[in-house]
Amino acid sequence: MSRADVCVTACADLFAGDGEVLASPMGPIPLLGAKLARATTEPDLLLSDGQAYLLGAEGVEGWLPYRKVFDVVAHGSRHVVMGANQIDRFGNQNISCIGEHARPARQLLGVRGAPGNTANHKTSYWVPRHSKRVFVSDVDVVSGVGYNNAAELRFHHVHRVVSNLGVFDFPAPEHRMRLLSVHPGVTVQEVLDNTGFDLDTSGTGLTREPTERELALIEQLDPQRSREKL
């Protein structure tokens, strides 16, 4: 079992209880996690090929071009796992640019679908390299909406963040980021040292290890072990 395997199962656990919704994992580890979840506890998850098709267990099962993705977003039957160039203590996420938006120090993607995703349906994040550059007290541009900006958003739900060091959530009522668990081999101090704001660590546990069956499935889903290139 490697750290990557733990991250994959942590990402799979993001989808626990989601049922028949579109899982939209961005990045190889969340994608493996979604596939693992569907192969184990969440068989009804829908997955796209990243282009215009829905892929069932036995191949293409449906059509989902971008215009229909927007319909699913607005309908709310979706759980996205996005990346984050920055994420803050209330779960605001930035993929737009670093610095002043009028003249950024570094231009990134743009807000993409982050505002619409976070306004409409369950959203989680995956951060492959946990650092103070990513975990900042306040993001430069709010692309994905965090809890302190979500008062008017009745469908807002930032579920969890998974990084290469641990799993984080935003418990009510303050919705400040909490260290839910550290991955095996990671210390709480190591997480704190790499996070640019205070984390609640009072109930921090240990991220569960993948079962034998899960490890076999991960191996089957990713025989080239591309997951190890976190």
Partner 1 sequence: MRDKTMTAAEVAAQVADGMTVGIGGWGSRRKPMALVQALLDSPVRGLTVVSYGGPEVGMLCAAGKVAELVYGFVSLDTIPYDPNFQRARQSGQIAVRELDEGMLHCGLQAAAHRLPFLPIRAGLGSDVLRLNPGLKTIRSPYGGEELVAMPALELDVALIHLNRADRHGNGQYLGPDPYFDDLFCLAAKHRFLSCERIVPTAELIAGGPPQSLLTNRLMVDGVVEAPGGAGFTSCVPDYERDESAQRRYYEAAIS
The residue ranges that bind partner 1 (CB under 8 A) are: 51-53, 63, 65-67, 70, 73-74, 96-97, 101-116, 118-120, 141-145, 149-156
Give CA–CA dist 191/183, Å, rounded: 10
* Identity of the residue, 51 or 202, whose beta carbon is nearer to partner 1 in the bound complex: 51
Q: What would you report as the CA-atom Rg of the chain, rounded to the nearest whole angstrom?
A: 17
* Identity of the residue, 53 or 197, whose beta carbon is nearer to partner 1 in the bound complex: 53
* Identity of the residue, 48 or 181, whose beta carbon is nearer to partner 1 in the bound complex: 48
Q: How far is the CB of 99 from partner 1 (least distance, A)?
A: 9
Q: How many CB atoms lie within 10 A of CB 213?
A: 10
Give CA–CA dist 158/171, Å, rounded: 10
* Identity of the residue, 117 or 163, whose beta carbon is nearer to partner 1 in the bound complex: 117
Q: How far is the CB of 144 from partner 1 (least distance, A)?
A: 7
Q: How far is the CB of 91 from partner 1 (least distance, A)?
A: 11
**Helix, strand, coil content of the chain in percent (nearest 5):** 30, 25, 50
Q: How far is the CB of 116 from partner 1 (least distance, A)?
A: 3
Report the DSSP pairing between strands 157-163 and 122-127: parallel
